[in-house]
Amino acid sequence: MKPTIRDIRRCYSKIKQLARTAISERDYNRAAGELALSARIAYLFNWIYSDPETDDMIRTIGRALFVEKPPESRQTARYAMYNSFGRENRGLTQQYIRALRALQVEFLYIFEDRSKAMAGVESDLAACGDRVEIFEITPSLPTTEQAKQLHRKLREYAPQVLLIQVAPWSVTPLIAFSALPEITKYNINLTDHAFWLGSGIFDRNIEFRDFGWTISLEKRRFATSQLFMLPYYPILNEAPFEGFPAEVPVGSVKIFSGGSYYKIYGGKGLYFDLVKRTLDENPDAVLLYAGDGDARIFREFIRSNGFQRRVFLLGSRRDINAVFRACDIYMGTYPIGGGLMSQYAAVNGKPVLAYASEKCPSAFVETVVCHKARLKITHTDVESFARHARALCSDPALRAEEGSRLKQCITSPDEFAEGLRNLLAGYARPHSGSRVGIDYRKRLDFYYEAENSNRWSEFAMLLLSQYGIWAFRYFPLAALKTVPGTLYRYGIEQFKKYLKR
């Protein structure tokens, strides 16, 4: 038995109460830990997209730690960028670093944890030369000491603008940011589909599509004047091609698909229905899937349909750009679409085969690809999708034509840099984005579907890692409904790994 939405909300409220208690006792490190946990749970299930109460608690901690002082004056404009990730070819880290370099501005780059930074990020920073100053937070310090370290550095550098890309549950930097009213804080909203902390702390929000703009307006309490639009392009790596499994026929039509497995679990199994129909109706086609997470449902689909020589799970691939070049068609995920993967398809001139519900605009490929031209890509009807699949599989010329059109639609690096210049200089007006219809109830239902059992397991492990056996005292219903099953599944998986040794 899984918890109800009422159980989750009670759990969330209890954790916030524990945070309030810790604040009243001036145990700010414990309070920060409770707030981070509450944010992780909200991010898992997304019945809310922001929470003014948690933001207020973060500000309370900031006021307790820092004394307001007048900022140092600067003659020239300076900028800073804070990043929780430092991931190569993922997120928007490299796009913004390259744009700042192209604009030839001085900026401070702050690593939350430099040990997690990828080589590509370090290389882009090195290319900025003496225009960039790099600062590292010491991850071994307690939360409050990290916040003090960050606050002190930003006071010393005194940027006019701070670009922020943080994890949805990053409490530490928000404590420091909340006590720096003189700095204009721009949040780079990459996680536009889910809950994140800080909407009451950021001054402005940079969106990349109307879907995120709508949620920020309707659910995050941003005013229209605080929202800006800056579509992005994908960072391409040139890792050498690692090849495909030997069983993949040389002359086959290679349909590539990919993303974390949770994106295709749910939606009543429609993604798998689409795959099966596409392969049944196109005997020369094969599907190659790159992704990470729990593959058990996918493996069972392959076994039950006898697709061992038609569907191939590639795992995570560092040579993702080379994989796209070696394939013929990209098939989008459902019920959650993959924006970055669709962009890779576009820049590599590959046609996109995509399905989405009319009530789920976040899954429409057009929102992340069609920056400079309006194209009709996403199907909302299964029969239309199947016809398009047959046409693409049977006609190489059509594949080339559609791929070429897509390639011309996406924002270029130069256009991205110019957009950032206009935004930071105040030339860009807030984007009066087109409000799109969003079925929030349907999105919430997705997170509660039984097929997403890994989400419940993560919820249980969060409670256990924070509270141990005390989880059963603080959250008796939620813990009893999730922890035993999670531990049982974890034990079975560990036992299977032991047998394979």
If you average pLDDT over every residue of the chain, what do you get? 89
Q: Where in the chain is the domain with CATH 3.40.50.2000?
A: 253-410
Predicted model pTM: 0.88
pLDDT for 468 = 87
Amino acid at 267: G
What sign for the dihedral angle of Cα 142, 19, 179, 206? Answer: positive
The tens digit of pLDDT for each residue in 110-164 reads 999 888 778 889 999 999 999 999 999 999 999 999 999 999 999 999 999 999 9
Band (238; pLDDT cuts 50, 70, 90): confident
Q: How would you list the strands of the sheet with 204-207, edge to edge?
A: 132-136, 107-111, 79-83, 161-165, 184-188, 204-207, 227-229
The tens digit of pLDDT for each residue in 157-176 reads 999 999 999 999 999 999 99
Band (86; pLDDT cuts 50, 70, 90): low
Overall average pLDDT of the 439-465 stretch: 77
CATH T-level fold of 63-233+414-425: Rossmann fold (3.40.50)
Q: Where in the chain is the domain with CATH 3.40.50.11380?
A: 63-233+414-425
DSSP 239: P
The tens digit of pLDDT for each residue in 180-189 reads 999 999 999 9
Helices and strands counted in the chain (H then E): 20, 13
pLDDT for 89 = 58
- Buried b / exposed e along 457-496 (16+ C-beta atoms within 10 A): bebbebbbebbeeebbebbeebbebbbebbeebeeeeeee
Band (499; pLDDT cuts 50, 70, 90): very low
- Buried b / exposed e along 114-152 (16+ C-beta atoms within 10 A): beebbebbeebbeebeeebeebebeeeeebbebbbbbbe
**How far is residue 45's CA from residue 9's CA, in Å, rounded to a whole number?**
10
Q: What tokens does 88 get? A: 């190569």
Give domain 253-410's CATH architecture. Answer: 3-Layer(aba) Sandwich (3.40)
The continuous run of DSSP H or E covering 59 comes out as helix 52-65
38-42, 117-121, 245-249: least confidently modelled range: 117-121
**How far is residue 211's CA from residue 64's CA, in Å, rounded to a whole number?**
37
Amino acid at 379: H
Overall average pLDDT of the 19-23 stretch: 98
What is the SS3 assignment for 429-462? CCCCCCCCCCCHHHHHHHHCCHHHHHHHHHHHHH
The tens digit of pLDDT for each residue in 44-63 reads 999 999 999 999 999 999 99
